[in-house]
Structure 1
Amino acid sequence: MVSLPHPLPGAVGLSHLSAYEWEAADGVCGGSPHLHLVCTEAYIVTGGRGAVQTLSPDGYRDIPLEAGSVAWFTPGTVHRMVQGGDLRITVLMQNSGLPEAGDAVFTFPPDVLADPERYAAAAALPARTGPEAQAAARKRRDLAVEGFLPLREALRAGDNGPYLEFQQAAARLVRARTPAWRELWEAGPLATAQRTGEQLAALEAGDPQYLAAATAFDTAPTRLGGYGMCGRRDEYELPGTTLPYRSE
């Protein structure tokens, strides 16, 4: 049974991103387009400027980002962070641990999405650091943009068929992982909400004894400059915060 004894408030995931400076096929510098199946993600912009491009039933949006702005997107929303100049973001992710357990799916072309082995090979990085990791992360980004651009153009033309087909393909890819995700959800977000219910019941009964367990925690990033989906990623590899990425 998974145990996450000290999650961040709300059992959220936490990381910091600096958007990739690599130019893609459409002349835009930025990250790898992808969606999450069960997690809402929030960008809190701490510096620079840029945008997040999104695809959803609302169509295509280009949401400007600058220091102090906040943008968030719900499950199923394809998002692509693009660089406008020294863009830096703190990411808050619902359901800590699920994105790292495979909740995110890249917008690779349909033939790659249809083959789980090809998808896994294209999504994985051969190393965590160094030139080989950088080359693989850039190749992965370019493949995701290759699949993203036709989805975007179809939505712009009023055709949501390719976007819906991508959602279906993403759901098929992750279906076998949902039992493991359920364990992480039960140990983190659900357990956190249940503790709040128990605390409210105790207060209602006039019994604040649970406060005897009050304490404080602190930490710092345990990995700097990793290759994330959207950019260089500072992360906290701690239970209930951000688990080590499983990119395949």
Structure 2
Amino acid sequence: MVNAARDEPSPAPLPGAVGLSHLEAYDWEAADGVCGGSPHVHLVCTEAYVVTGGRGAVQTLTIDGYRETDLVAGAVVWFTPGTVHRMVQRDGLKVTVLMQNSGLPEAGDAVFTFPPSVLADPERYAAAASLPAKEGLVAEEAARRRRDMAVEGYLPLRDALRAGDAGPLVEFHRAAARLVAPRVPDWARLWRAGALAAAERTGAQLAALGAGDVAHLAEARVEAAMPTRRGGYGMCGRRAEYEIPGATLPYHGE
């Protein structure tokens, strides 16, 4: 799709309208002796890790149980909505993160595994999940506190699953859904403008090709982006963020 002025094309999203960031997993030790990030869940977005260096793991909780998957250079690991995940740092782990539905993760499609009392209070949850706008020592301390609170709520979920009880995880899913329910209409708008619009463009191009119309091929162009922010405090580690042409918002995820 091109604007009226041919030198001002509308933004083109990354393939599939995904979000992108780079991560260096935290090396902070948690209460259980594990170094890594803040356990959390995504409610409607599949996430993928492309491991570019170092060693680590991702711990996951699903109704099927607890699992730990090794992360080594060259590995690609992905998981669907509802998977509680915790990135583990072992030796210089670096990951490129791909997120489905660019715009939704940035708009809050992630819930930390804070204790139930925090999840039940939207204001308390928001205060615990947010970080200071200005980075530095204060931001790092806040990120550590956030990680530690997420681990505090995560460990009982993991212990219950190991004992064969998925009930606490199911209740966490319900609490997370209640917490984000007010945002769902905005998420639907972002999805329609982003991922759905990208898929619909493919449908229109297929229909055009079937009719012998190749006009969209004359609109081809190349896009490029460099990180617009490096070293921010993400959920799982220090991150490099991008403002991708065509994305609804800059990526502020993992």
Within the candidate set 243, 247, 252, 1:240 is matched to: 247
Structure 2 residue 190 is the aligned partner of structure 1 residue 201: no
Q: Which runs of 5+ in 2 are unaligned?
A: 1-9
**Cα shift at 1:237:** 2.8
Within the candidate set 11, 14, 18, 1:12 is matched to: 18
Paired with 2:64 and 2:167, the residues of 1 have a C-alpha distance of 13
Q: Which runs of 5+ in 1 are unaligned?
A: none
In the other structure, the counterpart of 1:90 is 96
In the other structure, the counterpart of 1:142 is 148
**Cα shift at 1:118:** 0.3
In the other structure, the counterpart of 2:54 is 48
In 2 relative to 1, CA 242–23 (structure 1 residues): closer, same or farther, beyond 3 Å?
farther
Matches within 5 A, 1:12-161: 12-161=18-167
Q: Is the 8 A contact 2:241 2:252 kept in 1?
A: no
Structure 2 residue 179 is the aligned partner of structure 1 residue 173: yes
For residues 60-95 of structure 1, the C-alpha deviation after alignment (integer angstroms, 9 at most, x for no partner) is: 000001000011110000000000100000000000
Paired with 2:47 and 2:251, the residues of 1 have a C-alpha distance of 18
Count of residue correspondences: 244
Q: Is the 8 A contact 1:128 1:226 kept in 2?
A: no
- Specify the SS of the correspondent of 2:191: helix
Paired with 1:84 and 1:58, the residues of 2 have a C-alpha distance of 26
For residues 177-197 of structure 1, the C-alpha deviation after alignment (integer angstroms, 9 at most, x for no partner) is: 011111110111100000000
Q: Is the 8 A contact 1:18 1:233 kept in 2?
A: yes
**Cα shift at 1:245:** 3.7
Paired with 2:202 and 2:27, the residues of 1 have a C-alpha distance of 42
For residues 108-155 of structure 1, the C-alpha deviation after alignment (integer angstroms, 9 at most, x for no partner) is: 000000000000000000124111110000000000000000000000
Q: Is the 8 A contact 1:14 1:242 kept in 2?
A: no
- Specify the SS of the correspondent of 1:149: helix
- Specify the SS of the correspondent of 1:146: helix
Supply the AA of the counterpart residue of 1:172. R
**Cα shift at 1:246:** 8.9
In 2 relative to 1, CA 25–129 (structure 1 residues): closer, same or farther, beyond 3 Å?
same
In the other structure, the counterpart of 2:228 is 222
TM-score (norm 1): 0.95
- Specify the SS of the correspondent of 1:18: strand
Paired with 1:167 and 1:12, the residues of 2 have a C-alpha distance of 24
Supply the AA of the counterpart residue of 2:122. P
- Specify the SS of the correspondent of 1:184: helix
Once superposed, which parts of structure 1, at least 4 consecutive aligned residues long, lie more than 4 Å away? Answer: none
Identity in percent? 72
Q: Provide the aligned C-alpha RMSD in A.
A: 1.5
- Specify the SS of the correspondent of 2:213: coil
In the other structure, the counterpart of 2:219 is 213
**Cα shift at 1:97:** 1.3
Paired with 2:48 and 2:128, the residues of 1 have a C-alpha distance of 26
**Cα shift at 1:241:** 6.9
Q: Is the 8 A contact 2:19 2:251 kept in 1?
A: no
Paired with 1:245 and 1:176, the residues of 2 have a C-alpha distance of 20
- Specify the SS of the correspondent of 1:86: strand
